[in-house]
Every structure is written in C-alpha cells, then in structure tokens.
C-alpha cells in the first residue's frame, strides 16, 4: 500500500509541476506575443522599477542598522576591556 501512496504522490507532484509550467508559459506568451500583453508590460515596468528602488532603500537601511549594531558591540567590548584593566580592585565599593 505504501508503494501506491508514493506513486500517487509522485503523480500529483508531476501533474502540479506540469500545470504550473503550462500556466507560466501561457502568461509569458501572452505578455510577449500579444498587443495587450505589451501594453501590460509597459504599464508594469514603472511599478517594478519603483518596487526595486524601495527594496534597495530597505537593504541600505538594514545595512545601516547592522553597522550601528556592530558599532554598539564594539563600544561594549571596548568598555568591557577597559573595565578589566581598571586600576581599582574589583569588589564592593562604597561612596564614603
């Protein structure tokens, strides 16, 4: 019975893959070989360009956040190193 279930699963995957491939092929053919498809591509291009610009801005923002986190970690490590080299003995301190 397990062999039949695997076979059905493989057949389902094959059919799903073929269906997705056919659908994508139809969409590409429509967009590239029809007048209406050319019109749609011309309308989509500015939106795609805007979206790419937003993704680039987002990536730069993430890079800046990463740089800021690295700077904070570096400052913390320097503070820890300086604290370890302090001339004052560690232990409880009083204000008097």
Residues 71 and 51 in one domain: yes
Domain with 65 in it: 45-84
91 occurs within a structural domain: no
Answering whether pTM is above 0.95, one says no
Q: Report the pLDDT value the prediction gives residue 40, as an integer from 0 to 100.
A: 95
Residue of 21, 37, 41 whose CA lies nearest to 29: 37
Residues 25 and 51 in one domain: no
CA pair distance 57, 54, nearest whole angstrom: 5
- Contact between residue 50 and residue 43 where contact means Cβ atoms under 8 Å apart: no
- Total domain count, the chain: 2
Residues 28 and 55 in one domain: no
Residues 28 and 49 in one domain: no
Plot region of 36 (φ>0 → left; ψ -120 to 50 → alpha; else → beta): alpha
The one-character DSSP state at 90 is S
For 4-58, write each residue's pLDDT tens digit: 666 678 899 999 999 999 999 999 999 999 999 999 999 999 999 999 999 999 9
Considering the chain, what is the average pLDDT of its residues?
A: 88
89 occurs within a structural domain: no
CA angle 62, 65, 66 (to 5 degrees): 85
Structure tokens at 40: 């749609």
95 occurs within a structural domain: no
């Amino acid at each position: 019975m397990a062999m039949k279930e695997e076979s059905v699963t493989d057949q389902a995957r094959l059919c799903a893959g073929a269906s997705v491939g056919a659908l994508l092929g139809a969409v590409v053919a429509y967009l590239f070989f029809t007048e209406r498809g050319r019109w749609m591509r011309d309308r989509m291009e500015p939106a795609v360009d805007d979206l790419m610009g937003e993704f680039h801005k987002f990536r730069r923002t993430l890079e800046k956040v990463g740089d800021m986190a690295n700077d904070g970690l570096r400052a913390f490590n320097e503070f820890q190193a300086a604290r370890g080299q302090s001339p004052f003995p560690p232990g409880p301190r009083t204000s008097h």
